[in-house]
Structure 1
Amino acid sequence: MDQISNPTPPRWPSLFLRWYCHPDYLEDIEGDLIERFETTTRVKGVKAAKWNYTKDVARLFRPGIIRPLSGSYQLNQYGMFKNYFKVGIRNILRHKAFSIINITGLAIGIACCLLILLYINDELSYDRYNKNFDRIYRVLHVYRNAESPGTLPPPSPEEFQVWGSAPVGPALKADFPEIESYFRFTSPVELLFEHGSKRFQEDNMVFADSTAFDIFSWNLISGNAKTALKEPNSIVLTLSTAMKYFGYDEPLGKTITIDQTETFVVTGIMEDVPSNSHFTFDGLISMTTFQIWRPEIFDAWGYVDFYTYFLLKENTHIESLESRIPDFIEHNGPEWYKADNTIALEPLSDAYLHSKAARQPGTTGSYTNIYIFSFIAAFILFIACINFMNLSTARSMERAKEIGVRKTVGAQRHSLIGQFLLESILLTILAATLAIALIALVLPFTRELSGKALLFSDLLSWQFTLLFAVSILLIGLLSGSYPAWILVKFKSSQVLKGNYKTSSGGTSLRKVLVVFQFTLSMSLIVGTAVIYTQLNHLRTQDLGFSDDQMLVIDFGWDGAVQRQAESIKAELKAHPKVSKVSASRAVPGAFFPNAGTTIESADGEMIMHNPGIYEIDQDFIPTYEIEMAAGRAFSKDFPSDTTQALIINEAAARLYGYTKMDDVIGKKFTQWGREGTIVGVVKDFNYKSLHTKVEPLSIRYAPSNSLRHLSLKVSADEMNTTISDIEQQWAHLVPQRPFIYSFLDDSFNKQYEADVRFGKIFTAFSGLAILIACLGLFGLTTYAAALKTKEIGIRKILGASLFSIVTLLSKDYIKLFIIAVLIGIPISWFVMNRWLDGFAYKMQMGPGVFFVAAFICIFIALSTISWQSIQSALRNPVDSLKDE
C-alpha cells in the first residue's frame, strides 16, 4: 500500500540520468522530472507516469546536458585539436629532412601496397564476372592404362586433364537431374577468314554448344542468345573481331568465308571475353557445324578435343554427384575406359588458381605468387612504419624538454599521447596523398609490367575507399603509438634538469628493427638473383633439339599447301640462306594431341597407353638435329615408313617397360588405325616447357592432311633480307594464304612469359622495399651523426683520421648487417627452394648466390650510411664546437 500511495520514479532510468547528466544541471533536472512524475501519477496513474519519465530521460540525452568525458568541464575540444594540428605542422616543417624521409617512405610503401593489392584483386577476380559463378563446374578426365586393369591406385590431381571427350557432357546431363545445363567447346582452331578484301588467319576460334550464354555471363550485344549457335554454319564474333572485318557497319546477318570453301553467317556479336577469364576466344562457331564435319567423334570416348562445363541447379550440393561418379562410369563408359579411367568435377572457382590438371584451356595463375606478393606488400608497408618508429624514437631527446614543460604546466598523459598520435596520422595522410599521386603516375608502367588491365577507377570503389581510410588511420596509430608511449614516459623533473637519456630498451628495439629490415632485404636480393638465374638457366638449357635460327611458317592446315608440301619445301630450300626444310603437324612448344597407342611388351603382351603424338615428314628429325638413341629415323628408302612405322622417345620406351632402348626396336604397335613396328627411339628432347620432365612421345609419318607447319633452318646472315625473300616466294607459291611466321626460340620461350613477368614484378617491388629500408637507415645515420657532432669535432682536433670517424659512425651498423645476412641466408634458401620446385629443370643454389647477395646487401647499406658519415667527418670542427 505504501508503494501505491508513494510511488517512486523507475530505478534504471534514474541511474542512467545520474550517469550522463552534467553535475551542474543534475539537481535541477532531476527535481523537475520527479515533480512531473508525481503530477502524472495523480492524473494518469503509475504506469503512464513511469513510461513518460523514461521517455523524458531519453529525450534529455543530448549535447549540452551530457557530462564531459574527462578532464576539465570547460575544455574546448575544438581548440585542443586545433592546437595539436598547429604543433604537428610546426614539427613537420621544423624537421624537414626527417619529415621528407618519413613521408616519402610511407608514400612509397602505401603506393606499393595499393598496386600489389590491385594485382592480387585482379588475380582473385578471375571468372567472378559470371552471375552463376558458384554453380558452374567443369569435368576433369584421367586417361591411363595398367598392365592388369583395375590395379592402379586412385589418380592424383596431377594425372587429370581438362581436355576430354564429347559424349561425357550429354551423358552427365542424362544421368544427373541436378545438372541444369552443360556446355562444350573445342580446342582453338586455326581458320582462314575472308570478307571482301580483308583476309586473316584466325587462331582462337572455337566450336561451342548453343548453351554458351545460359552458363557464362557473356554479354551478347546483338543477336538472340538462345538461337545464335543452334544452326550449322553460324558464328558469334567478339566485338574486336567484328570490327576487324566490318568496321562500324552492322555485321549481323552478313557472311564470312572460311578456308575459301565454307560460308558462315554472323548470328551474334558479343563483348570481348573479360581479361579476368581463365580462357578466352575471338569467336564461337556452332557445334552443329562440327557435328556435320566429324559426326563420329561425338560418340567416341577415346577422342579427346573438348572442354565440358555444366551448371548445377540451385540448392544442389556437388557431393551428391561426386559420390555417384563410379556408377556413372560403369553405366556409360566403354569397356576399355571403365577399369582405370574416370572423371572428376572441379568448381569454376578452382580453375585459375587451384587447378593442377593438365591441358588447361587457357593460362593459369599461382596462389604461391599471390602469397609472395602479399608478403612483399606487407613487408614494404611494415618497414615504412618501422622507419617512422625508428626516427621518432631516435628523436625523442629533442622533444624531451617539450614534454617536460607540458607536464609541468599540467598536461595530462592522454593529451600528450593524442598530440603525438595526431602528428603521426597527419604524416600518414600526407604520405597517402603523395601515394595516390604516385599510383596515377606509375599505373601505366605497372599495367605493362604485369600484363593486366589494372584501372585507377578500381581504387575509387567504396570497398577500396573504406579499406584505404581505415588502413591510413591504423597505420598512423600503429606507427605513432610506440614513439608516443616512449615520449610520455619522460619525468618532467629530470628532463628539465637535463638529466635524461635514451632508454637502452629503445636503442635495442631500433637495432632489432634494423636487423629485421635488412634480413628481409637480404632475402629479397637472393630471391631476385635466383629468379633471374633460373630464367637464364631455362634459356640456356640443352633442349635436345636445335632451335637456333629455326623459322616456322604456320599455314593453318591449308589443303593446297598440304597436297603440294614436297614441292613447296623444294622451292624454299633452293634459297641460298635456307639449309633444311621440314613439314609437321606440331613443333616444340606448340599444341599437340595425345593418341591411344598399343605397343608390344618384352613378354609379347600388347599394352595401351596415351602418349603425345608428333606427326612429321622424313626431314623433321634431321632438320631439328634430334639424336637417335636406337634404331633409325624415317627415310624415303623405306616406303613402308609412311604407314607401318613408329618412332618413340626414351620416356615412352620406359613407359612400356623397356630399359634398353635397342630392345623395343621391331616391336609391334597399333595407333589411330595404323599397325606396324617400332623402327627407332629418339633421345628425350624437351618438346614442352621445362616446368615438366620430358613426357612419353610417339612420332609417326604424317598423312598429308595432318600437316600444319613448315620449319626452315636459315642462316643468321642478312636475316631481314632472307625473310623478305621467303615472304615473296610464299606469295608466289601460296597466294591464298598469308605469310605467318615466327622464330622457334621466341615462340618456345613464350611458355615462360608468366615466369619472366613474375621476375620483373618481384624485382621492381623488391627494389622499392630495399629503397625504403635505405631511407630509414639514412635517417638514423643522419640523426646519429647529429648527436655526435661535437664528439667528432673534438676527435678531429685531437688528430682522428677520416677513416676512424667513418668507422665510429658505421661500426654498430656493420655488425647489424652481418647478423641480418646470417639470418637471411637460411630464410631465403628455404623460400626460393620452394619456388624452384615448380620447375622440373632447376638451377642449383650454391654458396655463390648467397655470397653475391650478401655483398650487394652490405654494399647498399654501407653506401647509404657512408655518405652521411663522410659528410660529418669532413665538417670543420670549429663549426661543431663554437656553439658549445
Structure 2
Amino acid sequence: MFRHFLLIARRNLLKRKFYSFINIIGLTIGMSCCVLIALYVQHQLSYDRYNTRHDRIYRVLQTFRSVEKGQKITSPVAEDYQVWGCAPVGPALLADFPQVKEVVQFMSPVSLLLEYGDKRIQQENLICIDSTAFKVFSWKLLEGNPQTALVAPNSIVLTHTVAEKFFGHNNALGKTLRVDNEDLFTVTGVVADVPANSQITFNGLISMSTARNWREDDFKYWGYVDFYTYFLLKDHAEIAGMTAEIPAFLKRHNSEDPGYTIAFERMDDAYLNSKATRQPGPVGSMSNIYLFCCIGVIILVIACVNFMNLSTARSLERAKEVGVRKALGVQPSTLRWQFLLESILISMLAATLAVVLTKLSLPLVSALSGKEVDPKVFFSGQLALWMFILTLTTGILAGVYPAWFLSRFKPTEVLKGVFRPSHRNISLRKALVIFQFTLSITLIAGTAIVYTELKFLNNHDLGFTKDQMLVLNFEGDAQVRKNIESIKKTIADQPGVLSVAASRAVPGEFLPNAGTDSQRPDGQMENNGPLIYEIDFDFIPCLQIPLVAGRNFSREYLTDSTQAMVINEAAAKLYGYRHPADAIGKKFAQWGREGKIIGVVKDFNFRSLHTAVEPLTLRYGMPNSLNRIVVAIKAGHIASSIEAIKKTWKTVAPQRPFLYHFLDQSFNEQYESDQHFGDLLSLFSCLAIFIACLGLFGLATFTAQQRIKEIGIHKVLGASVYDIVVLIGKDFMLLVLIAIVIAIPLCVLVMNQWLKDFAYRVSISPGIFIFTAALALLIALVTISWQTVRAALTNPVRSLKNE
C-alpha cells in the first residue's frame, strides 16, 4: 500500500508540474529561512557555553549610589547594577564564602604598543587578569603552563593570531616584547583564539601582578571602579545561600558606604538576559531572538498556507479521483494517509533543496547578522535530526487540512458532476490569503520603521560636529603627552586643518564616573557620580559644542587648568538648577580638585542615542591624562590633510605608529547591531512577501483557468483587457486591502515595543503605512496581472469552442 501511495504521489507531482513547483519552492524558501534563523538563534544562545563549567560560573554585579546622611535608600533595580566594579570584593568573596572555589578578576581592556624586532603593532584589547583565569574559563593554552603563565609580573599570554603576527609559526614561549617603548614583557603562553560566541574577548592576557606594580593602590579601595569579578562555585554549591548572606557580607567589609551593594548573576545570563551596565563585551537581545523565531515560524506558515490554498483550490481536479476510489471501497482514512504522504513527499523534496539553499545563503546571512556561523554544523547529526523533525512537521502542517478536505468528497455528487466547492471552503481560502498578507505586510512595515529609525539616528543632531573629524590615537604615549602643545601646533599648521584639540576620550568611547561634590542652590554640597571628560582648552570649540551659560576654558585664566569645571545641562539639573546660568560660580570638589563652575554646555549626545544624555562634567586634563588628538579638517581636503598629518607625525612622534579613525564612523559603530537587525529583518520580509505572492500567483493562475470560458464570453461581448483584469483581480485586491487594515495596528503594537530601546526615536507616521500599503498593492497587482492579462489575451474561440 505504501508503495502504491508513493506511485500515485509521484504521478500527481509530475502531472501538475507548475503547482508542484510553486509548492516546493515556497516550502524550500520557508524551511531554509527556518534553518537560517535557527542557526542564528543557536549561535546567540550558545554564548559562553564553550566554558565546560559555565553552569557554575557567576559574576558580581555592583551598584555605586550616592546617599546623603540619614537618607533612606530603596533596593536597587536591575538597571542600577553594573558589571564593572571594585577590586576588594573578589578576595573578600573567596575568604567569606566556602561555596566559592575560584575567583578571577580582570580589568578594562588596554591598547599597548608591542614591539619585537622590526615589527611594531599597536595591539588593542589586552586585559590584565588573575592567574586563576585558566581554572575558571575554558581557554585552551597552546603553549605554556596554565598554572604559572599569569603569575609573574610583566608576563603576557598572546592569542594564536597575535603570536603569529610577531613570531610566525615559530615557538613564542620565552620571547621578549617591548611595550610602549619602555617595559619588557615575556611571552609565557599562547592561547587559542577565543570562540566567536564569547562575551569576554581579548588579544592578549597580562598578569594581574603587572597591574599591581602599575597602580597598587587601586586594588585596595571599595570605591575605585575598574575590575570585573567572576567566580566558580564548588560542585553542588547553591548560589541562593550566598545571596542571602550579602547584607552581612557588606556590613563586614564596606559598612561605611550604604549606596554600595552587590548581586550575583549567572554567566549563562550575561549575554542575553542581563540588564546591568558596563558590560565586558557585546550583549545580545532576547526580544530580538523571540522576534526572529516568530519570523521563522511566520515564513514557514505562509509557505504551508500556500500549499493548503492551492490544494483545496484544485479540489475540483481531484474530485473525480476521490469519487472513483471511494466507489471502489477505499476508506476515507486511507485517502487521508495518501494525501498526507503526498504532502510529506513534497516536504522532503523541499527540505533537500532547503539544505542546499541554506548552505549557499550562509555567507550572506553571516554578513548581514555580523555573526559568523560555523559551516561544520551542516555535517552534524543534530542538524539532520532537526531537519527530519522540520520536514515531518511541515509536511503534516501543510497537508493535514487538504487531506481531510479532499477525503470528505461524496462519490455520488462527484460522479454525477454536481459537486461544487462550498462557500465555506472558498471563505477559508480567502481567510488564508488575508492571513498570509497580514503577516507579510506587518514585516514590510516593521522593516520600514526600523530603517526610518536608523536613518533618524544617523541624521540626528548630536549637539557637536562629528563630520570631517580625524581622531589620532596615541594611547597616552609619554613623549606625545610631554610635547602635546607643540605637536598640536605643528598639525594645526598643515593645509586643510581647521582646528586641533586633545582629550582623554572622544564621543562614543568609554567615560568614567567621578565622585563629585557640587554646591546646590541652597548652598549645601551634594555628592553625585556624573561622567567626566578630561579635555584641553580647544576641545569644546573644536567640536563646536554650544555653550548655554558662562564660558569655555581659557588660557587667559591661569586657574582654569586647576580650579574650573564646565558641566552640561543634565548635570545642572542633577544638582538642582532649573536655569543653567544659576550654576555659574558654584563650588565643586572632584578627584582632588576644588574650584568653581565656569560654564554650562548644551546637552550633547556623547553616547549612543539608545540612552538619554547623562550628567557630564568637563574639566581641563593635564597632559598625563590625554590619549586622543582631534583634528577638524576642511571639506574636500581629507585625503591631502591625512597625508600631510601622517608625514608630520613621523617627525614629531617617530616612536608611535600613525593610527587614526574618523569620529563619525566610530560613533556610528554603536548602531552596528541595530543595522544588522534591520538587514536581517528586510531579508526575511522580502522572502515572506515573495512566498505570499508565489501562492497568490498560483491561485490567480488557477482562477484564470477555471474562469477561462467566462473570460471568453466577456471578450465576445466587448470587454477590454483592462475589464478582464479588474474582473479577476478585484477579489484578490480586496483581500490584500483587508490584510493591510489588520496589519497596521499589529505592526504599531510590535514596533512600539522595539522602539522603547531608544531614548531618541521616531514616531510611527501614517506615511510609513501608506508606503507599505501602496507597495503591497502594487506587488499583488503585478502578481495577479501576469496571469490575468495572459488569460485576457487568449483568443475566445479557443476557450468557447467546446460550448
* TM-score tier (shorter): over 0.9
Q: Which residue is equivalent to 2:142?
A: 221
The yes-or-no answer on 1:320 pairing with 2:250 is no
The yes-or-no answer on 1:675 pairing with 2:675 is no
The yes-or-no answer on 1:642 pairing with 2:564 is no
User: 1:253-402 residue pairs with structure 2 within 5 A?
Assistant: 253-333=174-254, 335=256, 337=257, 339-402=258-321
Q: Which residue is equivalent to 2:58?
A: 137
The yes-or-no answer on 1:187 pairing with 2:108 is yes
Q: Which residue is equivalent to 1:533?
A: 452
Q: Which residue is equivalent to 1:757?
A: 676
CA distance in 2, matches of 1:691, 1:779: 44
CA distance in 2, matches of 1:349, 1:356: 13
CA distance in 1, matches of 2:393, 2:506: 55
Q: Which residue is equivalent to 2:368?
A: 449
CA distance in 2, matches of 1:263, 1:349: 37
615-624 or 444-453, larger mean C-alpha shift = 444-453
Q: Which residue is equivalent to 1:798?
A: 717
Shift of 1:456: 3.1
Q: Deviations for 1:317-355, whole angstroms, at most 9, x for unmatched residues? A: 1111111111111111162x2x22211111111110011
| Secondary structure class of the residue paired with 2:272 | coil
CA contact (8 A) 1:257 1:264 kept: yes
426-435 or 720-729, larger mean C-alpha shift = 720-729
616-625 or 137-146, larger mean C-alpha shift = 137-146
CA contact (8 A) 2:564 2:619 kept: yes
CA contact (8 A) 1:275 1:453 kept: yes
CA distance in 2, matches of 1:407, 1:295: 89
CA distance in 2, matches of 1:798, 1:600: 91
| Secondary structure class of the residue paired with 2:467 | coil
CA contact (8 A) 2:495 2:641 kept: no
| Secondary structure class of the residue paired with 2:554 | coil
Q: Which residue is equivalent to 2:541?
A: 622
Q: Deviations for 1:525-565, whole angstroms, at most 9, x for unmatched residues? A: 11011000000000111101111110100011101000100
CA contact (8 A) 2:468 2:638 kept: no
Shift of 1:410: 2.2
Shift of 1:868: 1.0
Shift of 1:193: 0.4
CA distance in 2, matches of 1:249, 1:654: 59
User: 1:100-139 residue pairs with structure 2 within 5 A?
Assistant: 100-139=21-60
CA distance in 1, matches of 2:778, 2:252: 69
CA distance in 1, matches of 2:249, 2:583: 38
CA contact (8 A) 2:511 2:531 kept: yes
The yes-or-no answer on 1:860 pairing with 2:779 is yes
Shift of 1:462: 2.4
CA contact (8 A) 1:193 1:256 kept: yes
Shift of 1:445: 1.3
CA distance in 1, matches of 2:95, 2:496: 60
C-alpha RMSD of the superposition: 1.1
User: 1:595-606 residue pairs with structure 2 within 5 A?
Assistant: 595-606=514-525
Shift of 1:149: 4.6
325-334 or 306-315, larger mean C-alpha shift = 325-334
Q: Which residue is equivalent to 2:410?
A: 491
In structure 1, list runs of 5 or more residues that go unmatched: 1-79
1:275 aligned partner, one-letter code: A
Shift of 1:284: 0.5
Pick aligned residue for 1:163 from 81, 84, 88: 84
CA contact (8 A) 1:150 1:340 kept: no
Q: Which residue is equivalent to 2:474?
A: 555
CA distance in 1, matches of 2:125, 2:802: 78
Shift of 1:625: 0.6
Q: Which residue is equivalent to 2:324?
A: 405
In structure 2, list runs of 5 or more residues that go unmatched: none
2:49 aligned partner, one-letter code: R
CA contact (8 A) 1:597 1:672 kept: yes
| Secondary structure class of the residue paired with 1:711 | strand
1:133 aligned partner, one-letter code: H
1:318 aligned partner, one-letter code: I
The yes-or-no answer on 1:688 pairing with 2:599 is no
User: 1:654-733 residue pairs with structure 2 within 5 A?
Assistant: 654-733=573-652
Shift of 1:176: 1.2
408-417 or 306-315, larger mean C-alpha shift = 408-417
- Structure 1 segments, 4+ long, off by >6 Å, are none
Q: Deviations for 1:51-108, whole angstroms, at most 9, x for unmatched residues? A: xxxxxxxxxxxxxxxxxxxxxxxxxxxxx22221121111111111101100000000
1:254 aligned partner, one-letter code: K
CA distance in 1, matches of 2:763, 2:515: 37
| Secondary structure class of the residue paired with 1:742 | strand
| Secondary structure class of the residue paired with 1:218 | coil
1:295 aligned partner, one-letter code: E
CA contact (8 A) 1:322 1:345 kept: yes
CA contact (8 A) 1:201 1:556 kept: no
Shift of 1:719: 2.1
Q: Deviations for 1:696-738, whole angstroms, at most 9, x for unmatched residues? A: 1111100111110000000121422221111111111111111
Q: Which residue is equivalent to 2:9?
A: 88
CA contact (8 A) 2:131 2:207 kept: yes
| Secondary structure class of the residue paired with 1:353 | coil
CA contact (8 A) 2:437 2:736 kept: yes
The count of corresponding residues between Structure 1 and Structure 2 is 803
CA distance in 1, matches of 2:430, 2:86: 63
Identical amino acids, percent of aligned pairs: 54
2:764 aligned partner, one-letter code: M
CA distance in 2, matches of 1:334, 1:167: 14
Pick aligned residue for 2:664 from 738, 742, 745: 745
Shift of 1:667: 1.5
292-301 or 151-160, larger mean C-alpha shift = 151-160
| Secondary structure class of the residue paired with 2:85 | coil
| Secondary structure class of the residue paired with 1:750 | helix
Q: Which residue is equivalent to 1:175?
A: 96
Pick aligned residue for 2:760 from 841, 866, 869: 841
User: 1:28-43 residue pairs with structure 2 within 5 A?
Assistant: none
Pick aligned residue for 1:236 from 152, 157, 161: 157
Shift of 1:478: 2.2
CA contact (8 A) 1:136 1:347 kept: yes
1:235 aligned partner, one-letter code: I
CA distance in 2, matches of 1:127, 1:173: 23
Q: Which residue is equivalent to 1:60?
A: none
TM-score (normalised: structure 1): 0.90
CA distance in 2, matches of 1:224, 1:456: 32
CA contact (8 A) 1:149 1:340 kept: no
Pick aligned residue for 1:421 from 329, 336, 340: 340
1:167 aligned partner, one-letter code: P
Q: For the pair shown, which has the larger CA radius of gyration, 1 or 2?
A: 1
CA distance in 2, matches of 1:186, 1:545: 31
Shift of 1:809: 0.6
CA distance in 1, matches of 2:583, 2:252: 37
2:798 aligned partner, one-letter code: D
Shift of 1:160: 1.1
| Secondary structure class of the residue paired with 1:294 | helix
Shift of 1:436: 1.1
The yes-or-no answer on 1:770 pairing with 2:689 is yes
CA distance in 2, matches of 1:465, 1:198: 47
CA distance in 2, matches of 1:415, 1:795: 43
2:267 aligned partner, one-letter code: L
| Secondary structure class of the residue paired with 1:107 | helix
Shift of 1:150: 4.0
